[in-house]
Amino acid sequence: MKCQPTASHFINGQYVEDTAGDVIECVYPATGEVVAKVHSATPAIVDQAISAAQSAQKEWAKLSGTERGRVLKRAAEIMRERNHALSELETYDTGKPMQETLYVDATSGADALEYFGGLAGSLTGEHIPLGEDWVYTKRIPLGVCVGIGAWNYPTQIACWKGAPAMACGNSMIFKPSETTPLCALKVAEILMEAGAPAGLYNVVQGYGDVGGALVTDERVDKVSLTGSAATGKKVYAAAAAGMKHVTMELGGKSPLIIFDDASLEDAIGGAMLGNFYSTGQVCSNGTRVFVQKGIKDAFLKRLKERTEAIKLGDPLDEDTQFGPMVSRNQRDIVMGFVERGKAEGATLVTGGNAIDGDGFYIEPTVFADVTDDMTIAREEIFGPVMSVFEFETEEEVIARANDTDLGLAGGVFTNDIKRAHRVIDLMDAGTCFINSYNDAPVEAPFGGVKGSGVGRENSKAAIEHYSQLKTVYVRMGPVDSPY
């Protein structure tokens, strides 16, 4: 098999197998071919991973931040050197075209390792003078962290969670999505090569039950999930029962508002990026595109032309712009939404078909005349389906944009600078864009409000979620006790 790893899990610095676990087939989404098989973790494997992470963490936390950072930065360099091979594996794992994976997967993973490696040496507490006494605070690790990934960005998610955790002196057990189990193993291998101690970064495979076993183990101190809002509620509740720290990066139904003074080509480019990149499988996508009445017809005409010119095809061909859905199941879910859209009266502008063959392809799809109560307007589709809504006034569109339980992202296209900031200020969203969409540099906090999650990934903000403060009061004079 093309992508078969040495073994299913990576624990305590080496590949580990336990064939007693259920078989998970890794299917290449472009052809339906099985490219690898791994086994789901048994309770013995989960226990082994947690024990390894626990002992590695104690030693790792004793290193200086600069020493820890050096390992992460070396890992970033190795990832960049191997970008081509890692991108190919990402393409086999997810079906995303090489035109994307070469630029945004291992590279953004390396960015996170480099950025948090750079920060590791400057994670300090503060000194608080109180007359002759004083307080100092120390920034200390949380302990053993569990990362649970979604299937859309397996390398990036493994690094976005691992890099800040390790920079702060924690260890990590990462459970990739069962749909994309391969890439995180390479991240673990590279970290070992870069000098990480055995047990610092472990990977265990499995479905939700394995995630559940990790979340409820009392030796685990923190859980960071990237997944759907429904899974987030379950994982958050399970973590709360053990009073664990959490980061929840969940789904969205984000609005993209386009005013009639916007540059039409830029706005269309932003809307296409925010709906069709990674075949629409991006949590922060701007799937509700509100277009002001005056430019709606011109917008739709040009959007249709540009969408129909998208080059769909073999993801390994670097000219291909648009690959298949990650799995047959996800394709069927998305096609179900397309059918609901048609049945509930939205106008199909282009696309709307699954493509015959063994791969899981769907055409990039645009619906117009979508109303706020339609299923495609309310539920996260997680596929290449753009819904276009018409609006007239700023006040009206803000109210409609915020009428959702989710709040991951949002964007506005306008050339009126005051309006841009006014609209963004009123938008219920954690990650916003002005005249752009879906940029996610490691320097900027990323995350949602409302049902889209808690905590932030990336940037200095992530440090808050992978460390805690110890406060120390120091008295210089006598203790004034009434007893």
- Give contact residues for ligand NAD (rule: CB under 6 A): 148-152, 175, 177-178, 207-208, 211-212, 215, 225-228, 231, 234-235, 249-252, 283, 380, 382, 408
Q: Please report, for residues 26, 226, 268, 278, 314, the alpha-carbon distance to residue 400 in angstroms, rounded to integers and kept in the order given.
A: 40, 27, 20, 27, 39
Can you tell me which residue has the tokens 């690898």? 36
Query: Of all residues in this chain, which one has the CB nearest to ligand NAD in the complex?
Result: 211
Rounded to whole angstroms, how far apart are CA atoms 425 and 107?
32
Rounded distance, CA 157 to CA 414, Å? 32
* Min CB(381)–ligand NAD separation in Å: 10
Nearer to ligand NAD, 150 or 190 (CB): 150
Q: How far is residue 465's CA from residue 147's CA, in Å, rounded to a whole number?
A: 13
- CA nearest neighbour of 180 among 307, 95, 70: 95
Cβ closer to ligand NAD: 13 or 453?
A: 453
CB of 476 to ligand NAD, least distance (A): 48
Cβ closest to ligand NAD, residue 198 vs residue 454: 454
Distance (Å, whole) CA 119 – CA 134: 26
The least distance separating ligand NAD from the CB of residue 424, rounded to whole angstroms, comes to 19
346 CB-side CA count, 13 A = 28
Catalytic residues: 161, 249, 283, 457
Alpha-carbon distance values, 202 to 169, 197, 278, 367, 439 (Å): 15, 11, 27, 43, 29
Q: How far is the CB of 81 from ligand NAD (least distance, A)?
A: 27
- Pick between residue 231 and residue 292 the one whose CB is nearest to ligand NAD: 231
If the CB atoms of residues 252 and 255 are measured against ligand NAD, the closer one turns out to be: 252
Closer residue to ligand NAD in complex, CB, 105/249? 249
Minimal distance, residue 178 CB to ligand NAD, in Å: 5
CB atoms within 10 A of CB 127: 10
306 CA to centre of own chain: 27
- Please give, one letter per residue, the 3-state secondary structure of 419-443: HHHHHHHHCCCCEEEECCCCCCCCC
- 308 Cβ neighbours under 8 A, 6+ residues apart: 350
Among 465, 472, 469, residue whose Cα is nearest residue 244:
465
Terminal Cα-to-Cα distance of the chain (whole angstroms): 76
Candidates 181, 176, 278, 187; CA nearest to 227 is 176
Rank residues 121 and 445 by Cβ distance to ligand NAD and give the closer one.
Answer: 445
> Least CB distance from residue 54 to ligand NAD, whole Å?
20
Residue that the structure tokens 């109180």 belong to: 130
Q: Which residues contact 20 (CB under 8 A, 6 or more apart)?
A: 39, 42
Shortest reach from residue 222's CB to ligand NAD, in Å = 14
Q: Which is nearer to ligand NAD, 151 or 433 (CB)?
A: 151
Q: Minimum Å distance from CB 325 to ligand NAD?
A: 11
Distance CA 26, CA 179 (A): 7
What tokens were used for 340? 């609901």
AA identity, residue 196:
A
Yes or no: say if 478 and 183 are a contact pair by the CB < 8 Å rule.
no
